Amino acid sequence: MSPLEIALLLFFVTLVVLASGIPIAFGLGFVAVVFLYFFEGPSSILGVGEMMYESLSEFALIAIPMFILMGTAVSSSPTGKDLYKALDSWLYRIPGGLVIANIGACTIFSALSGSSPATCAAIGKMGIPEMQKKGYPDAISTGSIAAGGTLGILIPPSVTMIVYGVATETSIGRLFVAGVVPGILLSLSFMAWSIFYVSRHNKKNNINIKLINYTFMDKLKLLPKVLPFGFIVFAILYILYGGLATPSEASGVGALFCLIFVVLIYKMWNIKKIWNILKSSMRESTMIMLIIGASALFSYTLSSLYITQSIAEWITLLGVNKWFLLAIINIFLLVAGFFLPPVAVILMTAPILIPIITSVGFDPYWFAVILTINMEIGLITPPVGLNLYVINGITPNVSLPTILKGALPFVIIMMLSIVLFSIFPEIVTWLPDKMMGQIK
């Protein structure tokens, strides 16, 4: 069989195996070993264990469990509730202010936790009932939080960006910087749509939402509880961008201070609670590390069977316009994101796509943002759409179609942002070039 025929067979088998419900790490590892055995011979699988171990020995990967620990500590505390209340007290007079407060809380909390489902659960449990109580439509109440939760994989510090950096051998610090401006723009776009939607809905239905008046002291009261966590995010970014520490070192400091702040601010002295935080972060870290190891083996199989190189050569021989090529890649990523989590998609596709992207003149850091936004869309679209099910789980009185209807405008905003960043890539690359110099 030719490499391209093997590629088609491998793609089909991988889809069947993953669709069976087997854990992603085991599924990818199984497919890789089977194809190596049948096409390269029994001797090719002798070094499988060592290969997976070596893929996990990179120093940069230490940042992943540390950022996960940081996020678990935050999501296990009432930080999300306090963050939501603090923003609501400052934004309540703006049309749709409660929705904006929720999106803002999602933006900040997701940057702290790095977990989209955790953000939806933490902010949604408090925010959605409040919006429903004040007469906001169910669609915007649920859809805004489902979409806002996705921002955590784009806004630094992002585990997804770390995985991309390791998979593509690009600077993690530069990837973090590249996600700042697009993340802020997406957040502001979500807020702008929310203001428009709520204003139009209220005017059309002649609704006057009752406002709770907050005094200046009310606004200041909650800040001491949330500002320390905001300080951690800005401190990590400053340390990374200032070249004072590596991502692994910064993540360790961030995790330590998050644990300290959670214990001191929320009086979480109970050893059992702290142990649950450590246990939960360890479980999630192990899952991601297993996926990384299995994906490294999967990538080796693609390269060993000359699949990666053949696909790159085939696309080059097609001679298609680079923008048409980018459109095809975006469609492929969107479809992959519908079925697989972001980490798995990045690790499976990066070895194939990066040589193609760079060969036609696209920036790999810019592409990281494009890829990540595609993954964000996958989190709020069926059939997997993890955030949709999380929201449905915490608000069973709202149907899944209603949540999807509320999330759809945000999906369109993200698609338009991909087009915008493709036409004007400087939006993504300007800040990294300004802070860290242009790549020669």
Residue range 16-41, pLDDT digits in tens: 887 777 887 888 889 888 888 888 88
Long-range contacts of 320-329 (CB under 8 A, 24+ apart): 322/360, 322/361, 322/362, 323/422, 325/356, 325/360, 326/362, 326/422, 329/353, 329/356, 329/357
Task: Give residues with Cβ within 8 angstroms of 4, minimum separation 6.
Answer: 307, 310, 311, 314
Whole-model pTM above 0.85? no
pLDDT, greater one: 229 or 39: 39
Query: What band does 96 get if pLDDT is binned at 50, 70 and 90?
Result: low
Residue 262: other Cβ atoms inside 10 A? 25
pLDDT digits (tens, 9 = 90+) for 287-336: 878 888 887 788 788 778 877 667 767 766 666 788 888 888 888 888 88
Give 42: exposed, middle or buried? Use CB within 10 Å, 0-12, 13-18, 19+: exposed
Instruction: Supply angle C-alpha 149, 220, 88, rounded to 5.
Output: 35
Burial of 223 (0-12, 13-18, 19+ CB in 10 A): middle
Q: Which domain holds residue 89?
A: 3-436
Q: What is the pLDDT of residue 415?
A: 93
Q: Cβ(148)–Cβ(106) under 8 Å?
A: yes
CA distances from 162 to 16, 132, 183, 292, 375 (A): 28, 37, 16, 11, 15
Contact assessment for residue 12 and residue 31, using Cβ atoms and an 8 Å cutoff: no
CA atoms of 209 and 135, how far apart (whole Å):
7
CA nearest to 233, candidates 193, 190, 179, 276:
179
Q: What is the per-residue pLDDT for 212?
A: 62
**Gap between the Cα atoms of 69 and 66, Å rounded:** 5
Per-residue tokens: 326 = 């980018």
Tokens encoding 215: 């005094």
According to the model, what pLDDT value does residue 18 have? 76
The whole-number pLDDT of residue 213 equals 67
What is the pLDDT at residue 209?
58
**Cα 116 to Cα 159, 281, 322, 374, 385, distances in angstroms:** 11, 15, 32, 14, 11
Which residue in this structure is represented by tokens 């493709």?
422
What pLDDT was estimated at residue 19?
74
Q: What is the pLDDT of residues 184-214, one digit of tens each?
A: 999 999 989 988 888 887 777 665 555 566 6
Distance (Å, whole) CA 156 – CA 113: 10
Both tokens of 163, joined, read: 């995985």
Query: How confident is the prediction for the chain on average, in pLDDT?
Result: 81
What is the number of domains present in the chain? 1
With a cut of 80, say whether residue 137 has pLDDT above it.
yes
Distance CA 333, CA 354 (A): 13
Q: How confident is the model at residue 421 (pLDDT cuts 50, 70, 90)?
A: very high
Decide if pLDDT at 365 tops 90.
yes
User: In whole angstroms, what is the distance from residue 289 CA to residue 322 CA?
Assistant: 34
Average of pLDDT values for 254-266? Answer: 85
Q: Which residue has the higher pLDDT, 216 or 177?
A: 177
Type of residue numbered 430 = W
pLDDT digits (tens, 9 = 90+) for 330-359: 888 888 887 777 887 888 788 778 888 888
Binned at pLDDT 50, 70 and 90, residue 422 comes out as: very high
pLDDT value of residue 410: 93
